[in-house]
Amino acid sequence: MKLENINWQAVTEAMHAQGYAVVKDVLTAKECDGLVKAYNEPEYYRKTISMERYRFGQGEYKYFAYPLPPLIQQLREQVYPQLAPIANDWMRVLKIPTAYPAEFKALQAVCREHQQTQPTVLILQYGRGGHNTLHQDLYGEFFFPFQLVVCLSEDYTGGEFVLIEQRPRAQSKAIVLRPGKGDVVIFTTNFRPVKSTTGYYRANMKHGVSEVRNGSRYALGIIFHDAK
Ligand SMILES: O=C(O)CCC(=O)C(=O)O
Ligand SMILES: [Fe+2]
């Protein structure tokens, strides 16, 4: 894992300007392959979800169980403190009275106070025709507004990562990203502040994955808040 490849100044600027940031080469190919391989080892997971069954799209995902694999634990703990100040800036300009703690341990304590104790980190698998309908990952009344997706594979076509931004009284804008294997997309879970002449307003954002045309696509989703 190469967290030193993340230029936090650039991420901060991208988050403020567009509500997402792409960082190249954070996980090595070997780490990606290791996570994909472990997809079939049940001891790592607490729950498997068929996306068709819930009408979330087509594909399957698994929620990791605690304790998380060290690589994922480290990623969650080390990235969170960089993102919390950005989230706090957003809450301030939007006049939302929420302040996220500086450290990940403290965020988990807040989750516990809300009875949110189940890990939300997941790994997703899509084959041909697989897709993920537009959504927001809120798992309880308490949530941290940013999350990560790490792309774990490259031998597929289609399967773009899609963000939809919806500004008040406007049609939706689509943002289509094609991160490479080991790249990370950092993005807002539910909204972002947009500056206007009178202050800041909220633009709603959702994310999903377009249809995979060929091959198979795996991704690791890191959500910082836990679920009930
Ligand atoms: O497969 C993806 O890239 C998106 C997964 C997703 O929706 C998530 O991690 O929250
Ligand atoms: Fe998601």
Domain boundary assignment for the chain: 3-223
| Residues contacting residue 213 through CB under 8 Å, at least 6 positions apart | 128, 156, 157, 158, 159
Residue 140 confidence class, pLDDT cut points 50, 70, 90: confident
Residue 125, pLDDT > 90, answer: yes
pTM above threshold 0.90: yes
Residue 124 alpha carbon, nearest atom of ligand 1: 1
- Distance, CA of 202 to CA of 204 (rounded, Å): 6
Residue 206, pLDDT > 90, answer: yes
Assess whether the C-beta atom of 20 lies below 6 angstroms from ligand 1.
no
Residue 122 alpha carbon, nearest atom of ligand 1: 9
Mutation probe of ligand 1 site: the residue of 209, 211, 220, 223 with most atoms within 8 A of C-beta? 209
Assess whether the C-beta atom of 121 lies below 6 angstroms from ligand 1.
no
Q: Cα dihedral angle (92, 94, 96, 100), rounded to 10 degrees?
A: -50
Query: What share of the chain has pLDDT > 70, as a percent?
Result: 100
Both tokens assigned to 107: 């965020």
| Residues contacting residue 177 through CB under 8 Å, at least 6 positions apart | 20, 22, 160, 161, 162, 163, 185
Q: Whose CA is nearest to atom 1 of ligand 1?
A: 219
Class of domain 3-223: mainly beta
Distance 106 CA to ligand 1 centre (A): 25
- Distance, CA of 126 to CA of 59 (rounded, Å): 5
Q: Whose CA is nearest to atom 8 of ligand 1?
A: 221
Burial class (CB in 10 A: 0-12, 13-18, 19+), 170: exposed
C-beta of residue 5 within 8 angstroms of C-beta of residue 22 = no
Assess whether the C-beta atom of 80 lies below 6 angstroms from ligand 1.
no
Residue 185, pLDDT > 90, answer: yes
Q: Cα dihedral angle (59, 118, 162, 26), rounded to 10 degrees?
A: -100
Assess whether the C-beta atom of 132 lies below 6 angstroms from ligand 1.
yes
Q: Whose CA is nearest to atom 10 of ligand 1?
A: 221
C-beta of residue 167 within 8 angstroms of C-beta of residue 191 = no
Q: What pLDDT does residue 171 have?
A: 96
Residue 139, pLDDT > 90, answer: no
Q: Whose CA is closest to 208, among 181, 187, 182, 228? A: 187
Assess whether the C-beta atom of 124 lies below 6 angstroms from ligand 1.
yes
Distance 61 CA to ligand 1 centre (A): 9
Give the ipTM: 0.99
> What digits encode the pLDDT tens for the residues 92-109?
999 999 999 999 999 999
> What digits encode the pLDDT tens for the residues 144-169?
999 999 999 999 999 999 999 999 99
Q: What pLDDT does residue 181 have?
A: 98
Distance 208 CA to ligand 2 centre (A): 6
